[in-house]
Amino acid sequence: MAETQRIKILLCSSSMDGGGSERQLLYLLRGLDRERFEPYLYLLYETGVLLEEVPADVKRIAFWSDVRFPKLNWPGRIHRMQVNHMASTLARLKIDAVYDRLFHMTLVTGPATRRMSVPRVSTIVSPPQFDLARSEKRWIHWKKRALRSAYANANALLTVGAGTADNAAEYYDLPRNRFQVMLSPIDIDRIDRESNRSWSGAVLRPNRKHIVSIGRLSDEKGHRYLIQAFAKYTQWVAMEKVPAADLHLVGDGVLRRELESLAAHLGIADNVFFHGQVYSPFALLRQCDLLCLPSLYEGMPNALLEAMACKVPVLATNTAQGAGELLRANPLGTLVAKGNSDELADAIRNRFEYPAPWLARIEPARQYVENHHSMEAWIDNISQVLSRIVRKP
């Protein structure tokens, strides 16, 4: 295909921080066939640990690098500035299609692409009934209406799971058949490579079991219930009923100090390790005996799939979407009720008292990830969607 016939794709994100959505954007920037596509990266903030991994041939545009904060501000002004900047970028670069993830960017790409008649793919990664209300405290009714309009006008709507699609269709009052489920990709080659490296963080204490939880330290992740459950487990350790264990929390967020105080209040601070944001946690994950995800709601947690790829037994809460949805359909891990520290504690105890059923699931879990979350298949599917919505001569 001639150079002039390549499809110009603008991939959009607030930043390139190390979250799952940003990393999947990076996968696309790397994996799109350069004979068919010419990718560009649009950011609100040109920040994030993943920036250094963006391919050299990808041109980057950042709103706050081009625009100064206005001396006079009023509700909606910055949003209008972002929409105008996005629209001018589409025109200047002659963009053929836009791809966005996360609703923060959809609020900008929706009106900008509609103004410029540029086709767009939007991906919803978490059930909006919970995610929008958690993230947005102001103007939520306006944002819901704006998002409904943006999603209604998208040329393709993708979600990471059927449960998220069901929730989004009901919440935004959109036809369910507008949503296409596209399972998140897992970079198994990278996981295998990095999990076999030496762990450079705090040394894991020998002769102990190691429990890990990976995720942002915020309310919806349910870490307080995990810490309470672990405190109960340590009581059984003191009675010599179960093996000693440490709890490792990977991630950072607004609740870190509160969770550290909770661990201290429960007398388990010496057994709970807060590792903060870890760019590549796979060397730690591979050495752990159990991954625990105590979330109150989820889209599709990459940490769950990554643990399955690392052959680590998984314990999660029975969310309507995400881990609950996957493990109800595929019994590759253990589910407990949301917000129930007693059930979490009992399941952790069961993992170490009766390990055989837990260990029997790790090989099928690895195979499931290889079969259903292939990077190559995901990039091919996204490429087909982008090609379909763009009409090129």
Which amino acid is residue 148, in one-letter code? R
pTM of the model: 0.90
How confident is the model over 229-237, as a mean pLDDT?
Answer: 97
Listed ranges 125-134, 137-146, 274-283, 325-334; the one with the highest mean pLDDT:
325-334
Which amino acid is residue 113, in one-letter code? T
Residue 100 structure tokens: 């966005």
Q: Does the pLDDT at position 31 exceed 60? A: yes
Q: Is 13 helix (H, G, I), strand (E, B) or coil?
A: strand
Angle between helices 375-389 and 20-31 (to 10 degrees): 70
Distances (CA, A) of 196 to 184, 304, 352, 369: 23, 19, 24, 18
How confident is the model over 248-263, as a mean pLDDT?
Answer: 96
Residue 137 is predicted with a pLDDT of 65
Closest among 191, 152, 158 to 172, alpha carbons compared? 152
Distances (CA, A) of 30 to 37, 38, 54, 131, 264: 11, 11, 7, 28, 44
Domain chopping of the chain, boundaries: 3-185+374-389, 189-372
Residue 4 is predicted with a pLDDT of 56
Residue 164 is predicted with a pLDDT of 94
Residue 233 is predicted with a pLDDT of 97
For 191-228, letters b (16+ CB in 10 Å) and e give beebbeeebeeeeeeeeebbbbbbbebbebbbbbbbbb
Give per-residue pLDDT as tens, 77-109: 999 999 999 999 999 999 999 999 989 999 999
Residue 1 is predicted with a pLDDT of 41
Q: Are strands 209-214 and 245-250 parallel, antiparallel or unpaired?
A: parallel
Residue 141 structure tokens: 């009714």
How confident is the model over 334-355, as a mean pLDDT?
Answer: 97
Beta bridge partners of 336: 317
Give per-residue pLDDT as tens, 162-204: 999 999 999 999 999 999 999 999 999 999 999 999 998 888 9
Sign of CA dihedral 368, 370, 374, 376: negative
How far apart (Å, rounded) are the C-alpha atoms in residues 51 and 175? Answer: 36
Query: Is the domain defined by 189-372 classed in CATH 3.40.50.2000?
Result: yes
Residue 206 is predicted with a pLDDT of 94
Residue 140 is predicted with a pLDDT of 85
Fold of 3-185+374-389: Rossmann fold (3.40.50)
- Is 92 exposed, middle or buried, given 0-12, 13-18 or 19+ CB atoms closer than 10 A? exposed
Same fold, 3-185+374-389 and 189-372: yes
